[in-house]
């Protein structure tokens, strides 16, 4: 669902790019720190961290090889490097980084507890571990899609993203406590997604990226057209086609690896 780089960029990459600086600021990225981005994707958070620093070494890791290849071509600075690997088995020694971050990834990892523990393991005592996930209802780009899809096809409920973990207030903070992190802080990060037209909203779903795209790809042509019309009526509400915006909300958590007593 996430291996097509160009399609991913059109579907979610542009919104990750807006969220990444907000998250990096909340994570309190410090210049000179060695920073790990777990699930780096196409590099939205890498770019935000690079923009905030001049001396930091930045490492991105992702299991999707096309994302890693894209990111290696995108970033030329020697202080930035990319590895292909799993968040649940990070290939780094203990205490390798000053800060370990993860943007919009943990809710897709079946063993998210193991991934959180790995992020703590590779972060030095006193270092920061931070993550960010979409709010379950706050991402209207997706919630509107599923609401209309379920009206037309009740079976879509089983494929909607409503059952994904770590997308409600308090869930990330709870995971961080269970992981043994201290000085935990959880906040909401909010911004608006601007669309040039209805097609700017609709067409990325046709690329098959993410759960909504996979669902749209499986529909019959008649089913896709019915969904398109329902979404257009919902989003334009009788107005002529043109620019509109939707709110987006994410949850971010930050914690500190305890120092030995």
pLDDT (tens digit per residue) in 216-233: 999 999 999 999 999 999
Radius of gyration of the chain (CA): 19
Q: Which residues are paired to 181 by β-bridges?
A: none
What mean pLDDT comes out for the span 144-151?
Answer: 96
**Domains in the chain, CATH or no CATH each:** 5-256 (3.40.50.150)
Mean pLDDT is lowest, of 2-6, 40-44, 80-84, 253-257, for 2-6
For position 164, what pLDDT does the model report? 79
Task: Tell me the C-alpha distance between 92 and 96, whole Å.
Answer: 7
Contact 122, 95 (CB under 8 A): yes
Query: Helix 140-152 vs helix 221-236: angle between axes, to the nearest 10 degrees?
Result: 130
pTM of the model: 0.91
- 244 pLDDT exceeds 50? yes
For position 162, what pLDDT does the model report? 66
| Mean pLDDT score across all residues of the chain | 94
């Amino acid at each position: 669902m996430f291996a097509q780089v160009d399609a991913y960029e059109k579907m979610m990459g542009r919104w990750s790019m807006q969220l990444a600086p907000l998250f990096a600021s909340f994570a309190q990225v410090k210049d000179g720190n060695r920073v790990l981005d777990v699930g780096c994707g196409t590099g939205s958070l890498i770019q935000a961290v690079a923009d905030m620093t001049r001396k930091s070494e930045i490492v991105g890791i992702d299991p999707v090889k096309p994302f890693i290849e894209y990111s290696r071509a995108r970033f030329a600075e020697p202080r930035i490097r990319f590895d292909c690997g799993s968040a649940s088995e990070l290939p780094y020694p203990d205490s390798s980084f000053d800060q370990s971050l993860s943007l919009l990834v943990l809710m897709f990892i079946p063993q998210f507890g193991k991934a959180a523990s790995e992020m703590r393991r590779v972060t030095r005592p006193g270092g920061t571990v931070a993550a960010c996930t979409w709010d379950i209802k706050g991402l209207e780009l997706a919630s509107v899609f599923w609401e209309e899809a379920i009206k037309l096809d009740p079976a879509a409920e089983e494929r909607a993203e409503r059952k994904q973990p770590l997308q409600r207030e308090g869930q990330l903070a709870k995971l961080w406590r269970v992981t043994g992190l201290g000085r935990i802080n959880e906040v909401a990060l909010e911004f608006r997604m601007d669309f040039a037209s209805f097609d700017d909203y609709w067409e990325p779903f046709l690329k098959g990226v993410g759960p909504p795209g996979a669902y749209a790809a499986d529909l019959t042509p008649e089913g896709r057209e019915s969904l398109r019309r329902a979404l257009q009526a919902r989003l334009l509400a009788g107005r002529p086609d043109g620019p509109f915006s939707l709110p987006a909300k994410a949850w971010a958590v930050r914690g500190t690896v305890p120092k030995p007593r």
